[in-house]
Structure 1
Amino acid sequence: MNNRKIPASRHSVAVRTSAIVLSILLAGCSYHDLKPQARLLPAGDAGETLAHSGITLSPAAWPTESWWTRFNDTQLDRLVAEALAQSPTLRSAAARVRQAGALEAIEGASLLPRVDAAASSTRERFSANGTTPAPVKGTWQNVDQATLNIGYELDFWGKNRAAVEAAVGRRHALEVDSRAAALMVSAAVVQTYIDLNDTYAQLDVAQALLDQQVQIEQLTQQRFAAELGTQIDIKQSQASLPASRASIAALKEMIELHQNKLASLLGQGPDRGRSIARPHLQAGNSVVLPSHIAAELVGHRPDVVAQRWRVEACGHEIDVAKARFYPNVNLTAFVGLQSLAFDTFNDHSSRILGFAPAISLPIFEGGRLRGNLDAQDAAYDLAVENYNQTVVDALRDIADQLSSLRWLKERLAQQQEAVDTAQAAADLVNLRYRAGLATYLQVLATENATLAQKRQLVTLASRALSLQANLSRALGGGYRPEFRASVPALSTVADHS
């Protein structure tokens, strides 16, 4: 039987090592019941919807980055470029990206050693009954000290690396958010410009009606002079003129309001809006869609990509919360000089040197670590559900544009037929009125009917422009990830689920 005793020093090391191992094992068991509950929603297959949309499909039909140039209006191109360069909204988004980059750099510093220097000169009285030996005890002395300090945390459990990855994900999300903001600003400029174009077209219809009413009023005066009409006919023809002029004034007011809105989107005052001339938009003859919208939507919609980066960042935050259950190991060291007399401060004998490894073990913290991990799991679930909702909204957005485009062509054809019919009826009544075979009330009724149909046709033509713009926006506005190689694969989903 071997009765050799284990040396005290080796026994102490074995006890400490066992305590550390036991702490690690207990830490791993203390949160195994906590995990995220949400699941990422796949984009799904929109192939059947596209097949019945009646729109040509093409693998390369994603919008270009300057998608608004398809309207062939150089003034619109300049306005969008000015908005993207000067919009306060986009400058704010850029500031948030810079802020996220700074926070990422702060987190990244935890992966490197920390080095700092300190120097002090202290006038101190040493206790006569303390540990300071004679002849210094009980006297006043100057303590001069200068040290170079080094600290480093051994990231055994990946806590600091996960924190850096989370910061990277948040920065990427804000970078993509800035692209989403640019898309929304450009879309707002284009839509307001389309509204301005529509108002000018409505003004043309109202002005043409007023011109026609003035001609009929003059004809009525001539008929009255030839004793073919009555004073009532004159009053009725004159009564419609103020209402038409009021309608024209309202449309001119709307033009100025649209100009003011455009100036605001450009980050300028209202005077800038007054320099915006009448639009000259041209609608495309055909609409072509990408053939794999559902499968590729995640990489083309900036709002979807940003939400996915946030899911990735929250996954790394879970890694940080888990690592906090394990021991924290830090290494610190210092080297320097210390002396009670300044004339001996630079002596070789005044040097000091120290090395201090430190281990902290979370043993009892009142549930703080579990609560933190549970909160991070909930944050991950929230990010996943926000991503899911963004995907659902994106697919609905595209489906809305497809549904509207599908029926717009037929609506335009029917509305054009309605305008032609109403105009033919109005022309016929005007001829009869000139011949004295119709009353002014009949003329007024056909005018109102024609005006209503023409206004509706102008509205539908404007809607065609809006749908083309909205479809480009819904498809991501030409967005392409600039960091394609590092687009998150959501590896943390499998780890944290």
Structure 2
Amino acid sequence: MNSPNAQGPTDVRSTNRLAPRASLAMMLVLLAGCSFSDLKPQSHLLKPTDVSQTLADSAVSLSPAAWPTENWWISFKDPQLDALIKEALANSPSLRSAAAKVRQANALEAIEGAGLLPHVDAAMSSTRERFSSNGTTPVPVRGTWQNVNQATLNVGYELDFWGKNRAAVEAAVGRRHALEVDERAAVLLLSASIVQTYIALQNSYEQMDVAQTLLLQQEQIEKLTRQRFAAELDTQIDIKQSQASLPASRANIAALKELIELNQNKLASLLGKGPDRGRTITRPHLQSSNTVVLPTNLPAELIGHRPDVVAQRWRVEASGHEIDVAKARFYPDVNLTSFIGLQSLGFDTFSERSSRIVGFAPAISLPIFEGGRLRGNLDAQDAAYDLAVENYNQTVIDALRDIADQLSSLRWLKERLAQQNEAVATAQAAADLVNKRYAAGLATYLQVLATENSTLTETRQLVDLKSRALSLQANLSRALGGGYMPKILAPENASPSLAGN
């Protein structure tokens, strides 16, 4: 008596027929994998340990919590600046453009995601047709006119054995994340531009204060020169010299007023408003911070705090998945299609049960000879991956250099400010002394003019240095990422994952 588990002759023959087919399929898959095994990316991601940031001589304090806050500009303690940035973030066309790119990426991701799901569609047709008298159509339809009616519900699904569709979705996800971070980078760029323009506006006002003070002094000296001339202590030449400096000072004040309006116009543009909005911006009152504090583990943590670095990292991730897509194209595509519906000649029997049609059609396609198209596509994706990696590496290096530049400037600015304050005090003391001697008839106008010019030059430089201190404070916050904290980081391993890499 045969065992229930014993195989009969038919089972053995079926197994014998399937074995060669399975072996052939396995051989084709292996050949497909070998056909691109020599193609692979050449670049590698820069690791935090590969770069160093020397802070030992930077004269700044280190703190684990020294990263800027998201609203880093409030450290300047100017309510008008806070309101301007808030207005810009709500109205800027550049930010709306960045948001539109994110929405577009979301839509493209949804399109790629559709490849992971079955697709279902319905079709209906009614054709008036004359069948050939000499064709294969049997009697009585042969040589007659008939209405061919058909309605079907079609279902198709691609079996993603090699992960092609999944990799395409992951690539779209990476591009979307990159654009989301680009949107945050646009916010940082906009806020930093407003702060820098606002600092320039304050500098223009302060330079105008210096110019107006100088003009007042020149008017007083011109009046004193006339008195000296009346007392026969000076000549007409001295009067003309004292008068000559007045138009130049007034012209300088006019130029500074022009610069103020230009900065107001620029601020209005950054706000997404017309020039009239700029005229309502009053004089800034920014306050500089006397302390600078940096994060302790700067190179490693910078990768997650700079929007430009994070965005490039996501582009590397997307490029890695594009390589996986290109590799999967070397393998067979397996598609399943089926349909169910009704078909009949004429409408009288169309809805009858006997008019139903059902079909199921699995299909396998394997690229055999593509003229190098698939290899060229993979080679191009490898190069695109290398480009994304090197762009990422350069962005990390540039970010560290950006911070180092701000630290170098801040360190030497402190000494420059101290020396410049001393220079201004010395020049002002010399000018006061010469002015007193001139009033007493013990100094010439040329001496007055020389000390006046010296005081003006040194005071202008001091004003510029104070503005530079504010600018460096803003630049350091921007260089440290402007308070950006990613919601999700790109995976550490962004290398293409399919076999053959």
TM-score (norm 2): 0.95
2:260 paired residue among 255, 258, 261: 255
CA distance in 2, matches of 1:5, 1:81: 79
1:58 paired residue among 63, 69, 78: 63
Q: Go from structure 1 to structure 2 and tell me whether the alpha carbon gap of 1:40 and 1:273 turns closer, same or farther (over 3 Å shift).
A: same
Aligned residue identity for 2:179:
L
Q: What's the secondary structure of 1:122's corresponding residue?
A: strand
Q: Cα deviation per residue 1:30-89 (whole Å; 9 max; x = unaligned)?
A: 111110000111234777621211111100000000000100011111111111111111
Aligned residue identity for 1:488:
P
Q: Does 1:271 align with 2:276?
A: yes
**Corresponding residue number in structure 1 for 2:471:** 466
1:230 paired residue among 221, 231, 235: 235
1:105-124, aligned counterparts within 5 Å? 105-124=110-129
Q: Does 1:490 align with 2:493?
A: yes
1:318-333, aligned counterparts within 5 Å? 318-333=323-338
Q: Does 1:281 align with 2:270?
A: no
CA distance in 1, matches of 2:215, 2:28: 89
**Corresponding residue number in structure 2 for 1:334:** 339
1:388 paired residue among 350, 371, 393: 393
**Corresponding residue number in structure 1 for 2:448:** 443
**Corresponding residue number in structure 2 for 1:413:** 418
Q: Does 1:300 align with 2:305?
A: yes
Q: Cα deviation per residue 1:252-302 (whole Å; 9 max; x = unaligned)?
A: 111111111111111111111111111010111211111111110000000
CA distance in 2, matches of 1:471, 1:43: 20
1:475 paired residue among 450, 473, 480: 480
Moved more, 447-456 or 18-27: 18-27
Q: What's the secondary structure of 1:421's corresponding residue?
A: helix
Checking the alignment, whether the CA contact within 8 Å between 1:47 and 1:292 is kept in structure 2 is no
Q: What's the secondary structure of 2:442's corresponding residue?
A: coil
Aligned residue identity for 2:149:
D
CA distance in 1, matches of 2:85, 2:329: 49
1:49 paired residue among 48, 51, 54: 54
Q: Cα deviation per residue 1:117-141 (whole Å; 9 max; x = unaligned)?
A: 0111110111222222111111110
**Corresponding residue number in structure 2 for 1:454:** 459
Aligned residue identity for 1:442:
Q
Number of paired residues?
Answer: 492
Checking the alignment, whether the CA contact within 8 Å between 1:46 and 1:293 is kept in structure 2 is no
* Shift, 1:99, TM fit: 0.6
Aligned residue identity for 1:436:
G
CA distance in 1, matches of 2:208, 2:305: 39
CA distance in 1, matches of 2:170, 2:485: 22
* Shift, 1:6, TM fit: 10
* Shift, 1:8, TM fit: 8.2
Q: Alpha carbon RMSD of aligned pairs, Å?
A: 1.7
TM-score (norm 1): 0.96
Q: What's the secondary structure of 2:364's corresponding residue?
A: strand
1:338-377, aligned counterparts within 5 Å? 338-377=343-382
2:38 paired residue among 33, 40, 49: 33
CA distance in 1, matches of 2:14, 2:47: 59
Q: Does 1:137 align with 2:142?
A: yes
Gaps of 5+ in 1: none
Moved more, 124-133 or 416-425: 124-133
2:152 paired residue among 147, 153, 177: 147
1:156 paired residue among 154, 161, 164: 161
Q: Go from structure 1 to structure 2 and tell me whether the alpha carbon gap of 1:46 and 1:431 turns closer, same or farther (over 3 Å shift).
A: farther
Q: What's the secondary structure of 1:21's corresponding residue?
A: helix
* Shift, 1:354, TM fit: 0.2
Checking the alignment, whether the CA contact within 8 Å between 2:53 and 2:298 is kept in structure 1 is no
1:172-191, aligned counterparts within 5 Å? 172-191=177-196
CA distance in 1, matches of 2:19, 2:131: 40
**Corresponding residue number in structure 2 for 1:18:** 23
Aligned residue identity for 1:124:
E
Q: Does 1:433 align with 2:441?
A: no
2:176 paired residue among 164, 171, 175: 171
What's the % identity of the aligned pairs?
Answer: 76
Q: Go from structure 1 to structure 2 and tell me whether the alpha carbon gap of 1:47 and 1:370 turns closer, same or farther (over 3 Å shift).
A: closer
CA distance in 1, matches of 2:355, 2:12: 36
* Shift, 1:113, TM fit: 0.2
Checking the alignment, whether the CA contact within 8 Å between 2:323 and 2:496 is kept in structure 1 is no
1:67 paired residue among 67, 72, 84: 72
Q: What's the secondary structure of 2:48's corresponding residue?
A: coil
CA distance in 2, matches of 1:493, 1:469: 39
